Amino acid sequence: MSASQLETVRNTSSHSPPRRLTDGQFALLLLLPGGALLLGVVLYPLVAALVAAFFEQSLVVPGRTFVGLQNIVDVLTGDFPRLLGQTLVFTVGTTIFPFVIGFALALALNTRIRGAKVLRGLMLIPWLVPGVVVSFLWMWIFNANYGVLNALLETLGLVDGAVPWLAQPGTAMTAVIVAKTWQSFPWMMVMLLAGLQTVPRELHEAAEMDGAGTVRRFFSITLPQVKGIVGLVLLLELIWNFQHFDIIYVLTGGGPAGSTQTFATAVYETAFHGFDLGHAGALGLLWMVLLMGLVVVYIRFSEKGEAK
Amino acid sequence: MSALTPTRTPAPGTPSDSDAADAAAPRRRAVRRSPLRSERRGVRIAAWSTVVVFGGFALAPVYWLLATALTPRDQVFAYPPRLFPATPTLNAFAALASNEQLFVYLRNSLLVSVLTAVLSVLVSAYMGYSFSKFRYRGRRSLMYFVLASQMFPQALLLVTLYSLFSAYGLLNTYTALVLSFTTFTLPLCVWMLKGFFDTIPDELIEAARVDGASRLRIIHSIVLPLSAPGLIAAGLFAFVRGWNDFIFALTLAGPEKQTLPPGLVNTFVGEASTAWPELMAASLVVSLPVAIAFIALQKYLVGGLTAGAVKG
């Protein structure tokens, strides 16, 4: 809309109330309530939490002492390498597995097998339930003594006796990844299916007439066409999983022996069980740096998408 | 017609929901003679195998949730567990109904999620409108800051939010929960609503201005009513996200003000012998509003998902 045009209209219209604000000022005014809220509950808290990295500061005792980089050095020489490794295992695992399952299902449903719509609806159920419910359910399935998984595996002769999936360091991370995968794959499926449905059928039919087989068509037609949405879902999943908290916290609380601790649970523990804001902030600072790398890639990606 | 065309599923009467497929009808004859027929059968088998295997992974746990909720408490610790409850019962649900604390959590959940949704939609509508219909310096940077702000780690925000609310005496209040929930609902609603406002033609707004309507009046009597479905969708997504929150309500509120997710953890988890049928029944109850909201939201699902409506 053209401002000069409106200016003319405004001056000639007798009904027009006097306007003192320019469009730009009005637009800024509209931003105020939301902006103030974001400033108060997002930006300030984030900055303050990160600034705490340079202080010795407690959650419960007022006052703080500047300690420079001491907290960061502590963290880097302490838990950081292990947490980074575990966070990466969790993040990559809970991105790759849901992606593979989601993509396979999207491709299957996209062949328009009978009842595809009903199946799609049913497969969404895991993702409709709140995160804590996912945790409760898998806690019960993985239960060492009465869990249905041990019962099934024992019937098949695969395990011998009660395997404490969530209570031994060797299996806990895998179990947590399975639970998170179960929750995440439907989202991947819906997004990828939506992407697949935008691929023009004519392209496939033409290629088929030229003698291109299914595999060939998948790599030369389908994949290039859904490349954008694949990138988008992978990036978003990586960002979310990199900071996922709920399922890990409820299923294992980061245990046993810290084997499922990630940045999210470690920052929480340090701040709210150890009351140590300095080290929580230091960990958070390193965490944010890594996370922001992903977020920047995501924003570049969305901008590219919007420009198209 | 579909019975004659092996290009698609051979089921007679299968509804065809794609215009593209119908438009391609004349080409079908050529396709039918193609030598790839056996391969197509292979594809169908592969598709069904995928659905059976991963569908099993998706739905077996759901079945187990239902079955456990219907199992009498004394049978749930039988080993090996029975795949079908021998004497299904609704006792677990009855036990829930007699637990008064759960109703406190339920009331808190409803109240906080509704308030969060209303506040988020209200504030986001103005912000989204500003992003959608005005052009100014820093607009894009601000928009992407809003988008990025929902990706800041909650555990980290919580560290300061806790101290902040504590300093203002807001710990264990609905205010603290609603304000902390807006950290993730506001960015989502702003982006969703911006998308809705983008579809309102500028000509309409210009025409109203020519008629002498003030800019605020245009928002309130033209833009918002036209975007009613969008406002409702954004509100429902915000409701669901608030309903599902765990970490903020766990930390910022005690039992009197806590919502269902942390409430259920505190009630059931960590006891010597967890009341599994009751926990599974409670899980069903807490999932119900989300399921209903999503059925209502089907149309907006994919758009809302990219805006970060539901974390995968």
Reported as a single tens digit per residue, the pLDDT across B284-299 is 999 999 888 888 877 7
Q: Is it the case that residue A2 has pLDDT exceeding 90?
A: no
Neighboring chain B residues of A291 at a CB cutoff of 8 Å:
151-153
Q: State the nearest Cα–Cα gap between A223 and chain B, in angstroms.
A: 17
Distance from CA of B259 to the nearest CA of A (A): 12
**Contact A126/B36, CB-based, under 8 Å?**
no
Cβ <8 Å between B123 and A33: yes
Considering only alpha carbons, which residue of chain B is nearest residue A137?
Answer: B65
> Which string of DSSP letters, residue by residue, matches B21-87?
HHHTGGGHHHHHTSTTHHHHHHHHHHHHHHHHHHHHHHHHHHHHHHHHHTS-GGGTT-SSPPSS-SS
Residue B200 touches partner A, C-beta closer than 8 Å: no
Nearest to A232 by CA among A194, A200, A180, A191: A191
- Chain A CB contacts of B263 below 8 Å: none
Q: How many CB atoms lie within 10 A of CB A289?
A: 10
DSSP codes, B120-155: HHHHHHHHHHHHHH---TTHHHHHHHHHHHTTS-HH
* pTM of the complete model: 0.86
Among the partner-chain residues B47, B59, B64, the one whose CB lies closest to the CB of A148 is B64
CA distance B254 to chain A (A): 14
- What's the rounded mean pLDDT across residues A212-231? 86
Residue scoring higher pLDDT (A207 or B158): B158
Residues of A in contact with B14 (CB under 8 A): 112, 114
pLDDT at B19: 42
- C-alpha angle with apex B19: B16 to B22, nearest 5 degrees? 70
pLDDT band with cut points at 50, 70 and 90 for residue A19: low
Mark yes or no for CB contact B80/A154 under 8 Å: yes
Span B162-207, pLDDT tens digits: 999 999 999 999 999 999 999 999 999 999 999 889 988 999 999 9
With CB atoms and an 8 Å threshold, state whether B212 touches A13. yes
Do residue A302 and residue B158 have CB atoms under 8 angstroms apart? Answer: no
Q: Which residue of B has its CA nearest to A16?
A: B212
Helix pair angle (A80-110, B37-69), 10° resolution: 120
* ipTM reported for the complex, 2 dp: 0.86
Closest residue in chain A to residue B21, using alpha carbons only: A201
Res A64 pLDDT > 50: yes
| B84 interfacial to chain A (CB closer than 8 Å) | no
Report the pLDDT averaged over residues A214-223: 86
Q: Please give the share of chain A, as a percent, with pLDDT higher than 90.
A: 53
| Cα distance between residue A1 and residue B205, in whole Å | 9
Q: Which residue of B has its CA nearest to A282?
A: B156
- Which residues are within 8 A (CB) of B242 and not within 5 positions of it... i.e. 6 or more apart? B112, B113, B116, B117, B181, B185
A51: closest chain B residue by CA? B160
Are B261 and A127 a contacting pair at CB < 8 A?
no
Q: Do B153 and A263 touch (CB under 8 A)?
A: yes
Mean predicted confidence (pLDDT) in B266-293:
87
**A41–chain B nearest CA distance, Å:** 6
What is the structure's pLDDT at B297? Answer: 79
Chain A contact for B305, CB < 8 A? yes
The pLDDT score that the predictor gives to residue A264 is 95
How many residue pairs bridge chain A and chain B with CB atoms within 8 Å of each other?
Answer: 335
A115 compared with A267, residue with greater pLDDT: A267
Residue type at position A223: L
pLDDT score of A41 more than 60: yes
Annotate B209-232 with DSSP letters as a single string: HHTT--HHHHIIIIIHHHTHHHHH
Residue B13 has pLDDT above 70, yes or no: no
- Residue in chain A lying closest to B205 (CA): A1
Closest partner residue to B127 (CB to CB) among A1, A30, A140 is A30
Most confident of A54-68, A211-225, A264-278: A264-278
pLDDT digits (tens, 9 = 90+) for B153-169: 999 999 999 999 999 99
DSSP A149-193: HHHHHHHTTS--S---TTTSHHHHHHHHHHHHHHHHHHHHHHHHH
Contact B151 A284 (CB under 8 A): no
Q: What is the mean pLDDT of chain A?
A: 87
B71 and chain A in contact, CB less than 8 A: no
Q: Which B positions 211-240 lie with beta carbon below 8 A of chain A?
A: 211-212, 214-215
Q: At what angle do helices A277-307 and B139-149 cross, to 10 degrees?
A: 130
